[in-house]
Structure 1
Amino acid sequence: MLDIGCGGLAEHAARHNDAQVVGLTSSREQAQLARECCAGLPVDVRLQGDRELDGRFDKIASVGMFEDAGRNNDAAFFDTAARLLKEDGLFLLHTIGPSADSPVNDPWIDRDIFPNGELPNAERLAQALRSRFVFEDWHAFGPDYDRTLMAWWANVEQAWPALADAGYDARFRRMWRYYLHCSAGSFRSRHDDLWQLVLSHPGGRSETYRAPR
């Protein structure tokens, strides 16, 4: 399995599904944390980009990373995924997307949270993917992400004494509370959604994919 933008999924797949995983990240801090979490597991965490990778994989996953790629990189990203995926393999793309096109990023989000991030709408994804992959499944579960974001905030509040000791100040606490609550509201209102797409090579699979629900 290839985990593009690796982290918790690589650990889970190796620990609970006996997967052998190659994880890619461009962040030194993320690579260090992933290696610590995956110690003793068959996970190879690499500080490199996906375009530099060779080989073929049974499964590829990209969770919460595509939003940072930018639309100018759509073709290169999906061409690389198609090259690395075995003919009968499956590619999971997990991404946030707006209910309508949002060409202008929120200035505050762009400055303080996700510099250069961009949420892909459904039309953009379909246009980029339809000539490269078969759509096996497209699952929307935005309301679940609302609950996830509120659980994250509860975790921050519970851990705040330790975070304060680690150097996080009151400004960061306010900023993170505002960000998590605004994000939860965007999913609660269905302004934004969370999608998981399961993709395969055209003509590559002899079996029907059965989506678990």
Structure 2
Amino acid sequence: MTDSTSKVPHVKPREARQSQTVAPPAILKEAADLAGVSFNGDQPWDIQVFDSRVYRRVLTQGSLGFGESYMDNMWESHQLDELFHRLLKVDIEKHLGSVAKIRLYFEMFRQNLFNRQTSKRAYEVGKKHYDTGNDIFQGMLDSTMSYSCGYWAKADNLAQAQKHKLDLICRKLMLQPGEQVLEIGCGWGSFAQYAAENYGVEVHGITISKEQQTMAQQRCVGLPVTIELMDYRDLEGQFDKIVSIGMFEHVGPKNYSIYFDSAMKLLKPEGLFLLHTIGIHATSLKVDPWIDKYIFRNGKLPSAEELASVLNSRFVIEDWHNFGTDYDKTLMAWWENFDKAWPDLSTHYDERFYRMWKYYLHSCAGFFRSKQGQLWQLVLSKRGREGEYRSLR
């Protein structure tokens, strides 16, 4: 576990700020007690309250109010990642009474009444998050520019973990020189560049981010790689292999059938399809409203039940690999990089952005540490594919 105690000059040290002595409402105190968390306590993961209005914001707005009040510098936690680990491990929202239940039902209704991941809305997350600024991601990520979970089984640092992940994917796909590979959601070109350079394949990548497309094209100059700004629903052609790394979270349950039917149409009969996606421990109809508003617009994490259901009668599941705890390490490594890069980034972004990004990375680390969040790699094939598939780790 990485200690998240580093400071930047524009953020007041924790000991210099005055904690509020106003006691929290009983319902918040009782819920926090279940997680082993205190308000204004001495444990590094405790919540230090600087403005008592945070209590009302949490009670009336739930996780959105909790996150926004952190961005507004109304509270702090010395070890934010561990705070979220503890809160999520006990499913904290289940213990916040009738007000939380009403809010939960409203969110479920709002998020599931309409298709929030239509073709027209597919580009929103690109503009909102991935196009935020390449300088942020260059400062935070490793040299491969991989914005997905690394594979830490034999890695000592982030760069190794990401290269091991890329190579693991190539080996699971059994890539052969000259094969045509489709990458649905190519990011900044990390896989396309690695696979073309090391396995001699031709890669056709698509993204919904203009910033990603530009950088991916620059990084893959001279390689048999094409990068297009395109929604997966508009794809045509036939490919030997398909890969999708960290994109499925943006598809949405109403489009799962369309997504896998498209992959079925695009994959050759003897091909393989590797799906790399975050998963959630249990089927849920809601999305965290803070993450939805500030980070991943219109996203939705699948459960194993949802994936298995939609894959039934479509693809054969050759392999299902879970290494979700590696995402905890990946996120904390990203945080260290972002924090180190902040002195340069701070000339373009303000303190509220810094606190938003810190909250994002640490809350997600706690999410995976609690095992609510998981990371899956599925290898899929069409029925009738000849030969045996042997799983790799």
Task: Report the TM-score range of the alignment, normalised by the length of the smaller protein.
Answer: over 0.9
The answer as to 2:329 corresponding to 1:147 is yes
3-state secondary structure, aligned to 1:101: coil
1:169-196: CA deviations, max 9, x gaps? 2111111111111111111111110000
Question: What's the counterpart of residue 168 of structure 1?
Answer: 349
Question: What's the counterpart of residue 65 of structure 1?
Answer: 247
Question: What's the counterpart of residue 80 of structure 1?
Answer: 262
Q: CA deviation at 1:54?
A: 1.9
The answer as to 2:198 corresponding to 1:16 is yes
Question: What's the counterpart of residue 115 of structure 1?
Answer: 297
Question: What's the counterpart of residue 207 of structure 1?
Answer: 387
Instruction: Give unpaired runs (5+ residues) of structure 1.
Output: none
3-state secondary structure, aligned to 2:333: helix
Q: How far apart, in 2, do the equivalents of 1:34 and 1:201 lie?
A: 30
Q: CA deviation at 1:104?
A: 1.2
Matches for 1:35-114 after TM superposition, within 5 Å: 35-114=217-296
Q: How far apart, in 2, do the equivalents of 1:159 and 1:99 lie?
A: 33
Question: What's the counterpart of residue 188 of structure 1?
Answer: 369
Q: CA deviation at 1:122?
A: 0.5
Q: CA deviation at 1:40?
A: 1.6
May I ask how many residue pairs the two structures share in their alignment? 211
Q: CA deviation at 1:53?
A: 2.1
The letter for the 2-side match of 1:58 is D
Q: CA deviation at 1:63?
A: 0.8
3-state secondary structure, aligned to 2:346: helix
The letter for the 1-side match of 2:274 is L
1:126-160: CA deviations, max 9, x gaps? 01112110000000001111101111111101211
Q: CA deviation at 1:164?
A: 1.8
Q: How far apart, in 2, do the equivalents of 1:164 and 1:12 lie?
A: 32
The letter for the 1-side match of 2:392 is P
Q: CA deviation at 1:161?
A: 2.1
The answer as to 2:379 corresponding to 1:198 is yes
Identity rate of aligned residues, in percent?
Answer: 56
Q: How far apart, in 1, do the equivalents of 2:357 and 2:373 lie?
A: 19
Q: How far apart, in 1, do the equivalents of 2:391 and 2:212 lie?
A: 31
Q: CA deviation at 1:88?
A: 0.6
Question: What's the counterpart of residue 132 of structure 1?
Answer: 314
Aligned pair partner of 1:177 in 358, 368, 374: 358
The Cα RMSD (Å) is 1.1
Q: CA deviation at 1:110?
A: 0.8
The letter for the 2-side match of 1:176 is W
Q: How far apart, in 2, do the equivalents of 1:16 and 1:181 lie?
A: 34
Instruction: Give unpaired runs (5+ residues) of structure 2.
Output: 1-180
Using structure 1 for the length normalisation, give the TM-score. Answer: 0.96
Q: Which protein is richer in strand relative to its size?
A: 1
Which one has the largest radius of gyration? 2
Q: CA deviation at 1:162?
A: 2.3
Higher relative CO (Cα under 8 Å, sequence separation at least 6) belongs to 1
Q: How far apart, in 2, do the equivalents of 1:161 and 1:122 lie?
A: 41
Q: How far apart, in 2, do the equivalents of 1:150 and 1:208 lie?
A: 38
1:45-98: CA deviations, max 9, x gaps? 011122322211111011111111111111111000010001011001111111
